[in-house]
Structure 1
Amino acid sequence: MKIAGAGIQPVSSFHKIRLFVVIRVSVLHEAEGTTMIKELTNETEWLEGYPVMHELRTHLDQDAYLACLRTMREEGYTLLALYEQDEIAALAGIGILTNFYFGRHVFIYDLVTKSSMRSKGYGNELLAHVHRYAKESGCGIVALGSGLANLDAHRFYETKMGYEKTAYSFICRV
């Protein structure tokens, strides 16, 4: 696997009520094959990622996706893509944060594998890359939020990736 990366800065985001899961960073084995992970850094690449992100964020049309992504990038959001051959198979949107309860950590805001490419290990491979990045960046934890109804994702995080449920996240619309 080839890996291309860049720095990650703090980012903020609002979500519906979510189940909060955390993993302490540990070294994971790199998958072999014809995949490459790289940061998407410009609008051409972001547009290439839109159909995959839209599977997760169905409420966003292409214009709203680009507008939001521009703002999020200014706030430190990084969008990583796992390619199989020349096709995006999975995306992860991440940022590095520091707070009292996790210390310095990577937060995963978005994680999605293209529906036609699921169950092939791409999510595992992309998360393993994020875990390595976190460790290399001095983070001891990778955290993420997942919708309460997304039981398949919860099972994946807990049984395949070693995450543990630690809290609920709440929002209040003002």
Structure 2
Amino acid sequence: MLTMQELDSKQELAKLHIIAQQLRPHLSQEEFIERVFAQKEKMGYRLFGFLLDNEYIGMCGVMPFEVLYRTQCLYICDFVITDTLRGRGFGAISLSLIQKWAKEAGYKELELSSSFPRTAAHHFYECKMNYDKTGFVFRKML
């Protein structure tokens, strides 16, 4: 059975780093842990691990997203299932757990962004999880 657990300690985050690297390969374990704690403090970030038989198989980082055009919105920053288990239903179960948690916490909607090369993820969000594609994200380095 797949379960979800919020991660709060450096030891728990260290165990999850190998999965985080599949989504954020530029982060060392130390940087990953530092950034999680900094975002928790500054942005209300929360990180959940998904466990199957007491082993982490995925993670989801979320934070409140309150702006002029969104209220009661939870932003999914980091969602990944370990590459060896993708396509076997664990992503759908994991995202459903996050959706249930968000609804119980009082959120009315979820939002996320996904880079262009991640076409399999786009298919998953739109076709399997019924997310609406609402626009593009633009960025400029300064």
TM band (smaller chain):
over 0.9
Q: Secondary structure at the match of 1:108?
A: strand
Distance between the aligned counterparts of 1:40 and 1:94, measured in 2?
A: 12
Which of 1 and 2 has higher RCO (CA within 8 Å, sep 6+)? 1
**Who is 1:70 aligned against?**
37
User: How far is 1:120 from its partner?
Assistant: 2.1
**Distance (Å, rounded) in 2 between the aligned partners of 1:166 and 1:115:** 27
Which runs of no fewer than 5 residues in structure 2 stay unpaired? none
Give 1:93's aligned residue: 61
- Runs of 4+ more than 2 Å apart: none
Which residue of the partner structure matches residue 126 of structure 1? 94
2:138 partner amino acid: F
Q: How many residues align?
A: 141
Q: CA deviation at 1:72?
A: 1.1
The question of whether the paired residues in 2 share the 8 Å contact of 1:95 and 1:107 is answered with yes
**TM-score, structure 2 normalization:** 0.94
Q: CA deviation at 1:105?
A: 0.6
Aligned to 1:142: 110
Alpha-carbon deviations, 1:72-119, whole Å to 9, x = none? 121211110110001111100001221222211110000000111212
Provide the residue aligned with 1:152 in structure 2: 120
Aligned equivalents of 2:96, 2:2: Cα separation in 1 = 13
TM-score (norm 1): 0.77
Alpha carbons 1:82, 1:122 under 8 Å: kept: no
Q: Distance in 2 between matches of 1:107 and 1:57?
A: 17
Pick from 79, 82, 85 the counterpart of residue 117 of structure 1.
85
Deviations 1:21-67 (A, max 9, x none): xxxxxxxxxxxxx2211001100000010000001101111121122
For structure 1, which runs of at least 5 residues remain unmatched after alignment? 1-33
Residues in 2 aligned to 1:123 and 1:100: alpha-carbon distance in whole angstroms: 30
Q: Which amino acid aligns with 1:94?
A: V
